[in-house]
């Protein structure tokens, strides 16, 4: 089990879309239909929480649109928040800023799209933040499946064309140009299209 240093206040931020038919995994739905895509998303969400639950760090689930009424399916030690902002960058920035004002030391943010994420990888990300300002888990599509910081860096969320293949590259470019240290985890695949889903669905359904 991944165990953070006892004198550090750590948290994993899980950015999660509310589970609504026709509003999740839309690119996958184009191939398999809305209902099947919704089920695929639910499996990805469950997998993400199984991974996160093995960490000692605090888990903070950020819903995209509204606070769900029934939270009984989530671990009892979760904290729940609602994303705020006009776009993904602003929403992530606001979440990081809020928690750093609460004196957290190391923060990781993940989504619910990566079926290759492991507790060990999250533990490694926390350890990388002992020596670096930022840690990035690059996705094979050019985005990132994980971003971690040990201090609030608002510029990392500005001027980025989200949902493009330039996200990770431009993020690293910003950090380098502004003198921030960062490390990079191994690239992993997010589940966005049918080819991605076919690679992982057996694992998630087992």
| Helix ranges (DSSP H) in the chain | 26-32, 34-52, 88-100, 119-128, 167-177, 194-205
Give percent above pLDDT 70 in the chain. Answer: 96
6 pLDDT above the threshold of 80: no
The better pLDDT of the pair 177, 8 is held by 177
Q: How far is CA 98 from CA 72, 88, 154, 173, 198, in A?
A: 25, 15, 12, 25, 37
Q: What is the pLDDT of residue 5?
A: 46
Q: Whole-angstrom Cα distance, residue 34 to residue 29?
A: 5
Residues 98-109: what's their mean pLDDT? Answer: 98
* pLDDT at residue 205, rounded to an integer: 73
Backbone φ, ψ for residue 155 (5° rounding)? -65, -20
What pLDDT score does 202 carry? 87
Asked if pLDDT for residue 3 goes beyond 50, the answer is: no
Note the pLDDT of residue 4. Answer: 46
Which range among 2-6, 13-17, 73-77 has the greatest average pLDDT?
13-17
Residue 81 is predicted with a pLDDT of 98
């Amino acid at each position: 089990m991944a165990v953070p240093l006892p004198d550090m206040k750590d948290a994993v931020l899980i950015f999660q879309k509310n589970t609504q038919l026709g509003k999740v995994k839309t690119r996958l739905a184009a191939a398999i239909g809305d209902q099947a895509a919704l089920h695929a998303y639910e499996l990805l969400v469950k997998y993400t929480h199984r991974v996160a639950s093995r960490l000692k760090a605090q888990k903070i689930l950020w819903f995209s649109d509204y606070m769900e009424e029934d939270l009984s399916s989530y671990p009892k030690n979760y904290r729940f928040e609602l994303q705020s902002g006009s776009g993904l960058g602003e929403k992530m920035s606001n979440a990081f800023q809020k928690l750093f004002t609460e004196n957290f030391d190391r923060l990781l943010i993940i989504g619910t799209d990566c079926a290759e994420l492991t507790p060990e990888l999250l533990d490694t990300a926390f350890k990388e933040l002992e020596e670096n300002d930022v840690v990035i888990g690059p996705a094979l599509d050019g985005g990132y499946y994980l971003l971690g910081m040990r201090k609030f860096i608002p510029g990392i969320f500005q001027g980025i064309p989200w949902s493009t293949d330039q996200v990770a590259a431009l993020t690293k470019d910003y950090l380098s140009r502004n003198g921030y240290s960062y490390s990079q985890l191994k690239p992993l695949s997010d589940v966005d299209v049918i080819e991605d889903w076919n690679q992982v669905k057996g694992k998630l359904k087992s």
